[in-house]
């Protein structure tokens, strides 16, 4: 059996209760195509990077499933694209995740390290001050350039 991961985004216009019903329909669709669902994660409602079909928010859901028939994957993908409630869907092959690996992933979510103290950091080097040129010298240089016949 091959293991697959399905990531899909449900339109943000639905309530969470409606999203639960849509998730059940998608699970039934996977089972219809001989898939056995293993791991599922509801990532919640998030803002989209860009609007999709005039939607600015969507519910992200990840499902892992196994199936023997790889021909059913294309049919499943087509059915997901035709569903108007789903903004985007992507199916990829993926190695199977064990329960221990799932626990390790959740433990890894550590906060970022604290920034270093400002006292310990090296000071920023100063920029060299450029010499100022007077307006008279600029005018003289411009006149010299314009007097020359070989401008171009």
Q: What is the pLDDT of residues 48-62, one digit of tens each?
A: 999 998 899 999 999
Give the pLDDT confidence of 16-37 residue by residue, as tens digits: 899 999 999 999 999 998 888 8
User: Would you say residue 43 lies in a domain?
Assistant: yes
User: Would you say residue 107 lies in a domain?
Assistant: no
Please name which of 88, 98, 61, 91 lies closest in space to residue 76, comparing C-alpha atoms. Answer: 91
Residue 51 belongs to domain with CATH number: 3.30.70.60
Please name which of 104, 99, 82, 109 lies closest in space to residue 8, comparing C-alpha atoms. Answer: 82
Strand ranges across the sheet with 2-11: 36-52, 55-67, 2-11, 86-93
What pTM was computed for the model?
0.62
Domain of 66 in residue numbering reads as 2-98
C-beta of residue 35 within 8 angstroms of C-beta of residue 65: yes
Domain count, the chain: 1
Q: Can you read off the two tokens belonging to residue 79?
A: 């059915």
């Amino acid at each position: 059996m091959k293991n697959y991961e399905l990531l899909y985004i449900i339109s943000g216009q639905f309530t969470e209760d409606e999203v639960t019903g849509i998730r059940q329909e998608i699970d039934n669709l996977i089972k219809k195509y001989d898939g056995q669902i293993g791991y599922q994660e509801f990532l919640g409602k998030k803002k989209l990077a860009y609007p999709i079909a005039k939607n600015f928010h969507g519910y992200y859901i990840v499902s892992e499933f196994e199936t023997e028939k790889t021909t059913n994957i294309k049919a499943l993908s087509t059915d997901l694209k035709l569903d108007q409630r789903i903004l985007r869907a992507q199916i990829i092959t993926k190695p199977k995740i064990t329960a221990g690996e799932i626990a390790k992933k959740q433990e890894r979510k550590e906060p970022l390290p604290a920034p270093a103290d400002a006292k310990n950091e090296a000071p920023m080097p100063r920029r060299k001050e450029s010499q100022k040129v007077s307006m008279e010298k600029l005018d003289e240089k411009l006149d010299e350039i314009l007097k020359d016949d070989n401008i171009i």
